Amino acid sequence: MCGIFGIVTSKEQPLGELLTAAARRLMYRGYDSVGAATLRDDGTIDLRKDVGRVDAVAEKYNFSEMVGRRGITQLRWATFGEPSQVNAQPHIDSDGDIVGAHNGNVVNNFKLRQQFIAEGLTVRSENDGESCVHAVEHYVNKGYDFVDAIRLAYGDLAGDYAFVIGHARDDRLYAIKKGSGLVVGLGEDADGQPFTCVSSDLPSILPLTRRIVRIQDDEIIILWPDHVELLSVKDGQRIEREPEIVTQSMDAVQKGGYPHFMLKEIHEQPQVARELLHLLNEASEVNTFIEQARKARNLYLLGCGTSYHACLLGAVYFAQIAGRAAIPVLAPQFIRQYAPAVNHEDLGVFVSQSGETKDVLSALQVAEKRGMTAIGIANVIGSTLTKAAACWLPLGCGYEISVPATKTFTNQVVTFLYLAYRLAGLDSPPLEGIPDLMEQTLEMTAPQMEALAGEINSWNDLYCLGYGATYPIALEGALKLKEITYAHCEGMLSTEFKHGPLSAVSDGYPVLFAAPPDDVPLIVSGINEVTCRGGRAIVIGEEDARLRGEASDVIALPKAGPAISPLLAVLPLQLLSYYMSVRRGYDPDFPRNLSKTLTVD
Ligand code: F6R
């Protein structure tokens, strides 16, 4: 994710405090490292950056003494390239007269770095933000003016990103975006002097000004102190856009206009899945996984809680798509059940949003002692898991603030689905439709789930059932429901329900089913067992006359097929638990007794 902020003022002045304050307000986008650069009237650039949180780095490097007419700051959420001082942003070009910073992912970074090194440019880090700077430098060296160099660089930089860049010997900043968000602010300081600023998001801009311009893809913005100019990347033509006035409160802005982070993060899922697919297409670690998985004797998938549910679904995908058996296991149980039997011929995939879960790290330690190869899948890069594993894949979700995992779960599942197709020998997994299908699912099901939450909210006891690839989804839906509504909700294989739990069913008793498209007759049997006893069978699945005919309620998903449909089915379950939690007067972002990162046994 990462966050960027840049400001252009009308005279040289202390900018360090202002940049630190802006960085603090972007911390929710990343906190692995922070940096600030000021561009001074004497044509020099003052660049200070390091690993750590904003306040610590700002104090250590005396950001408060930084002076300039223009300034840039960046908060990093590492994806590729570990959190380190050299990978921290902003970055300078080879001779130090261009400085820039980005957020997002440049997915052809590896190739570009090799090209820049071959050209003789000074490449100091592995970070893709540095590639943005060299991509511009590359065209400046060929004689293009700065704006044309940025326009051409934009064509070379693939992925989803935004970046801000400035030249030591002029008085402007320039910014551009592809996929990611970018907003510009226009205001006046306390002395009535004009300034303009640009950022990946509004929280860093709103305390300075509420006059903003939203930038679109394929546009380049030039910032002077008193005005901004918007140009088309394609033909350099001027684009006219009037500023708008933002009236939302700061709290609402931080939550992206949603009442809770959980709802914001639920709605971010299509975009983070899109970005992840781009990342996976370029990640050399995918090949490492394929090589290791092909030669491994046994393949274990380990995690806890929600991440374990992703492992369960991963194992279904590996078997169904790649014909490769995998053993999903709760990380602490691995220690007693499997560790005594593993050795260097085995491979373990350790899955964790935080990368700090003690239960996962303890299993990893035991596995490595036994010589097993460990691959990590984590959202927080730089976390202990990413350092301890032989190699790792990022989830690329940005900061997940809400305690219940949502977007990190779906990106874990997308990762497993992608790996399963690659293991099956497909170089281009047919997954590019996922983000749009997720968007459609959220749109189609949200009103229904909000209404349903009202109808079943009085029940403190529910079941959530699935079969095959939707069994892990049923477990995950049940976990979300109990986590934030405090109701008892049990997730179960649908065929097991008749072996005992069916006795719970009474008039109106809600049983949720996640129906896999290939197993509708089996789900229909389960539905009938519930409805004939007066229970309410609520089915989530693709439109199907058999489900319509038998279920009490059908939550229809867009047609996606047996591999992708289970992934979509979790979205309405997330929404249901969210709406029920809010109806009960709870804060779904911070459920009682729970913590986002569990570093204890
Ligand atoms: C539930 C949830 C937890 C985590 C579990 C593991 O919404 O978030 O069940 O999945 O505590 O955490 P990570 O993935 O950080 O290892």
With a cut of 90, say whether residue 401 has pLDDT above it. Answer: no
Q: Which 8-state DSSP code applies to residue 216?
A: P
Residue 483: CB within 6 Å of ligand 1?
A: yes
Q: Residue 480 catalytic?
A: no
Residue 296, C-beta contacts closer than 8 angstroms, at least 6 positions apart = 345, 346, 347, 373
Cβ–Cβ under 8 Å, residues 3 and 54: no
Cβ–Cβ under 8 Å, residues 277 and 414: yes
Distance in Å, CA 409 to ligand 1 centroid? 9
Residue 526: CB within 6 Å of ligand 1?
A: no
The two tokens of residue 520 are 């509708």
Residue 100: CB within 6 Å of ligand 1?
A: no
Residue 598: CB within 6 Å of ligand 1?
A: yes
Distance in Å, CA 383 to ligand 1 centroid? 15
Confidence at residue 594, expressed as pLDDT on a 0 to 100 scale: 80
The two tokens of residue 236 are 């350099």
Confidence at residue 85, expressed as pLDDT on a 0 to 100 scale: 93
Cβ–Cβ under 8 Å, residues 349 and 375: yes
- In 3-state terms the chain splits into helix, strand, coil percentages (rounded to 5) of 45, 25, 35
Q: Whose alpha carbon is nearest atom 8 of ligand 1?
A: 405
Q: pLDDT class for 399, splitting at 50, 70, 90? A: confident
Residue 405: CB within 6 Å of ligand 1?
A: yes
Residue 372, C-beta contacts closer than 8 angstroms, at least 6 positions apart = 300, 342, 343, 344, 346, 347, 348
Residue 137: CB within 6 Å of ligand 1?
A: no
The two tokens of residue 188 are 């006046």
Which backbone phi and psi does 564 adopt, to 5 degrees?
A: -90, -30
Strands in 353-394 per DSSP E = 373-378, 391-394
State the Cα–Cα distance between residues 130 and 220, nearest whole angstrom. 19
State the Cα–Cα distance between residues 479 and 491, nearest whole angstrom. 8
Tell me the pLDDT tens digit for each residue of 70-118: 999 999 887 767 789 999 999 999 999 999 999 988 989 999 999 999 9
Find tokens 């993060």 and name the residue.
265
Catalytic residue (choose from 111, 358, 391, 596): 596
Give the three-state DSSP class for 358: helix
Residue 401: CB within 6 Å of ligand 1?
A: no
Residue 412: CB within 6 Å of ligand 1?
A: no
Distance in Å, CA 354 to ligand 1 centroid? 8
Q: Whose alpha carbon is nearest atom 3 of ligand 1?
A: 305
Tell me the pLDDT tens digit for each residue of 135-168: 999 999 999 999 999 999 999 999 889 999 999 9
DSSP string, 173-213: EEEEEESS--EEEEEE-TTS-EEEEEESSGGGTTTT-SEEE
Q: Residue 498 catalytic?
A: no
Tell me the pLDDT tens digit for each residue of 223-274: 999 999 999 999 999 999 999 998 878 777 788 889 999 999 999 999 999 9
Q: Residues, the chain, total?
A: 601
* Segment among 183-192, 221-230, 376-385, 498-507 with least mean pLDDT: 376-385
The mean predicted confidence, pLDDT, of the chain is: 94
Confidence at residue 105, expressed as pLDDT on a 0 to 100 scale: 86
State the Cα–Cα distance between residues 416 and 217, nearest whole angstrom. 30
Pocket perturbation via mutation, ligand 1, pick of 262, 301, 302, 306 by most ligand atoms within 8 A of CB: 306
Q: Among residues of the chain, what percentage have pLDDT more than 70?
A: 100
Tell me the pLDDT tens digit for each residue of 351-394: 999 999 999 999 999 999 999 999 999 998 778 899 899 999 99
Q: Which 8-state DSSP code applies to residue 394?
A: E
Distance in Å, CA 305 to ligand 1 centroid? 5
Tell me the pLDDT tens digit for each residue of 327-349: 999 999 999 999 999 999 999 99
Question: Relative to the CA of 357, which ligand 1 atom is closest?
Answer: 16
